[in-house]
Each structure stands twice: as structure tokens, then as C-alpha cells.
Structure 1
Amino acid sequence: MIEDGKVIDSESINIKKSHSEFILILIKNLLKRVKISLNQLSAIAVNKGPGSYTGLRIGVSTAKGLCFSLDLPLLSVNSLDLMIYDVKKKNLVESGSLLCPMIDARRMEVYTKIVKDDLTIIKDTHAKILSIDSFNSLLKINKINFFGNGSSKFKNIIKSNNAVFIEKIIPEAINFNQIVHDKYLKEKFEDLINFEPNYLKDYYFKK
């Protein structure tokens, strides 16, 4: 729950495949605790991905449903930007180094992007298959901070002294505040009818 760019309270849960069971319960508990009704909300913000197909689908569907029923605008945030905001907020990176969040996309693939410490984008959000040669040209001349649940796979194969790994960084809703507040003030709302999560790649069902 964000008010004037500040987090006034939050609810979170980290249990695999629990999105549909708990999301509405978490919302209800949060609203009850802060004593705010749905009708008092000004906007709804949602993680647009990349990330878990099921989690994104349920999260976006819930957010859009609330926006339609309450006639509210929808704001979205990139998962990777949430992690970048977190490491910047905690002052975990050296000035002049690069930031590379990674979300596990199974096997040796990750969802990632690369930015400078001033947030200038070097390469925007994309899916990447990791190898021992990944990021070689950048690592030769830059220190790169890798973080997120996909970075451990790269840590096991990379040997560059310029590769720095930051532990325990995940895309958390509690880091929505400044990104969402700025978007709200600039009225950077999503097209509610056509908005879809950024899956980055197709989902394949197991037979």
C-alpha cells in the first residue's frame, strides 16, 4: 500500500504455486489492517514481468479485474527494475559499475537487462541463455553486479574478477513505491483492455 510515494504497509508470501489461493486474501488483510476500503484507492499497480507465467497471469488478471470494477487506472512495473531499485536503495553497488538483474527462466536461461549505475539502459529486458562467454566484452572493461535468483547459475561458470554477485535480491512489491509514484504523477497508465504481462517467451504445457 503506497501513499504519497511511501509504503505505509505491505503483505507478502513466498510459497510456490500459491498465487491464486492467497492473492485476494492478502489484499483483504492489507486493506483491513490499514483501514482503507477498495473505493478509497486511486490506482492499482502490478508486476508486469518477466517472471513466472502463472504468477504473472494471475497477478495481472486480478489487477485488471479490480481496475475494471472500481474504474481505476492501472500502473505496471518491470520485475527487473524492482530488483535494480532494491540494490540502489541499499547502496550495494560501486559507482561506475553496471547492474545486471537475472530472473531464472529454467535450465541455463534467464530474463535480464543491463543498466549503468545512473540507470541508463545498455541492453533492455530480454531472455538470455547463459554460457561461460556471456557478457565477455562488457566484463573486460566494466565491473558488473549480478543479482536475482538466476544469477547463481552464472556464478557457477563465470571466472571474471569483474563479476560481482549480490545475494538475496528478489522482485518485491514493497519496492514499487518510487517507481509507481513517479508513473502515477506523470499519468503513465496502461491500456486496461489490451495490457498483457511481459512473458518474454511462450509457455509450454507438459502433456
Structure 2
Amino acid sequence: MSKSLLLSLETSSPVCSVALHRMADGSLVGQSELRLDKSHSTHLTILIEQLLENTSHQLADLAAVAVSDGPGSYTGLRIGAAAAKGLCFALDIPLVAVSTLKALAAQVANGTARPENHLFCPMLDARRQEVYAAIYTHDGQEMLAPTPLILDPDTLTEQLARHPILFFGNGAAKFQAVLGEHSNAGFLAGIEPSAIAVGHLGVAAFHRQELQDVAYYEPFYLKEVYTTTPKNSRIAPLG
């Protein structure tokens, strides 16, 4: 069965996750993940190979690759993008990019009873008192575009005044500590990005022909990445 599958990659967080979905109906074929910090560079390719072998498929069966687009870990996103682009180049197949935050929101909405009664706010840790966040309706409509938020007691007060909101992701606990009790705020623990959710949205995006230019694709980092020179690497004066 040639070129009938979507391979999805999720590397935006400490979880390294891959999944296969059928293009025809979006059904899940299989998934595999590792919850080991900094495992992406050494384990992503192995996870892909093992998933294909365990599901009795091969690279030739892939119709496209979907990758978690960010925001998230700079290093993780670069590893996922490089792997996705390499596969697409080698197999001459399309690349689909899926918002990390939108996929995480869909993941939670699909498992929530009466999801129409809530808004969904994924929060990914951006260090210190900052998170990457967005707000979506249960059916994926964007109410707040992905943005870096500095957390304080007044963060998202307007949205919380109008709607019950579920917060989740590895940055949500920081917001819960700052916000305290709020009648419209609910917090879910243990929610991590998954390639399954990336794949579900990726199949739909593929059928809408929302494809990336493989040569020029870069992840959505949301913020500039700053690097500093270590103090012990100062250049000695000439002469």
C-alpha cells in the first residue's frame, strides 16, 4: 500500500514522540515516544525506524511528514525540522507544519467532556516567569494568537472574566502559582505534546494542501534566540 501514511514528529518538549496516521481517514496506525530529557538527537531516527518496523510499514509508504512547528524548545524544534526536511527531500514528499500549541489544545479538547463549555490555553515553559501561550475554542478557533506571556496576577484577566479556561502544558503550574484561586480557571497536570495530535491536524492540513516549502521551512520559534559568550572564552589582546 504505497504512499498512504502520514508520519508526524513532536520534538518541541522533553518528550520525543512519533506517530503514523492513515491519510484516507486520519486513523491512528501507531505511535511511540520517549520521556527522556535531551533524547531527541540520538533517539528520534531510531523511534521512526522502530515504529515503521512494528507496524509492518516502510518509508516508501509515507505520503507526507508532519512536524510540530513550535513554539517550544529551540534545540528540539531544530532537530524535528531537520529530520522532517531530510525525509521529505529523500522521499520527495510534502512537509506539513502543525502549531505545537494548537495541537496541544486539540489533544486536551478531544478528551474533555463538554469541551464547548471551555476555552483551552496551552502553556509551554519559556523559563523564568514566562510561557508561550495561546487560547483556542474547542474546535480550534484561535482566540489568542501564540505569544510569549510574562506571568503575573493580572495575566489574562480579561479572558478569565468572560470564559472558563483550562490551562495545561509544562508552563501551566507556574501560572497557577501566580494566579491562585480563580473561579474560571482550571488547571490540568501531566499534559505533554504528542505526535498523535500533530498527526490528526496534519492529515487535515495535508488534505487542504497547506504545505511547506521544504527548502526554506524554519520552525516558529516565537522569540529570538539569544546566545552569550562564556566569560572564560574572552579573546586575548593581540601583541
Q: TM-score, normalised by structure 1?
A: 0.94
Indicate conservation of the 8 Å contact 1:100/1:146, yes or no.
yes
Identify the residue that residue 101 of structure 2 maps to in structure 1.
80
Aligned mates of 1:175, 1:119 — CA distance in 2: 12
CA deviation profile, 1:145-180 (whole Å, cap 9, x unmatched): 111110000101113221111122111002223211
Displacement of 1:93 in angstroms is: 5.8
The answer to whether structure 1 residue 8 and structure 2 residue 29 are counterparts is yes
Identify the residue that residue 193 of structure 1 maps to in structure 2.
215
Identify the residue that residue 43 of structure 2 maps to in structure 1.
22
> Identical aligned pairs, as a percentage?
38
| The structure with more radius of gyration | 2
Q: TM-score, normalised by structure 2?
A: 0.82
Superposition pairs for residues 112-191 of structure 1, below 5 Å? Answer: 112-158=133-179, 159-191=181-213
Determine helix, strand or coil for the equivalent of 2:98: strand
Residues 1:15 and 1:92: Cα distance change in structure 2 (over 3 Å):
farther
Determine helix, strand or coil for the equivalent of 1:146: strand
Indicate conservation of the 8 Å contact 1:11/1:30, yes or no.
yes
Aligned mates of 1:90, 1:194 — CA distance in 2: 35
Identify the residue that residue 66 of structure 2 maps to in structure 1.
45
Indicate conservation of the 8 Å contact 1:6/1:177, yes or no.
no
Aligned mates of 2:140, 2:81 — CA distance in 1: 26
Runs of 4+ aligned structure 1 residues displaced above 3 Å come to none
Aligned mates of 1:169, 1:92 — CA distance in 2: 16
Q: Which of 75, 78, 83 matches 1:62? A: 83
CA deviation profile, 1:121-157 (whole Å, cap 9, x unmatched): 2211111111111011121222111111100001011
Aligned mates of 1:53, 1:26 — CA distance in 2: 20
The answer to whether structure 1 residue 204 and structure 2 residue 226 are counterparts is yes
Q: Residue 142 of structure 2 aligns to which amino acid in structure 1?
A: I
Count of residue correspondences: 207
Query: Aligned-pair RMSD on alpha carbons?
Result: 1.4
Displacement of 1:50 in angstroms is: 0.7
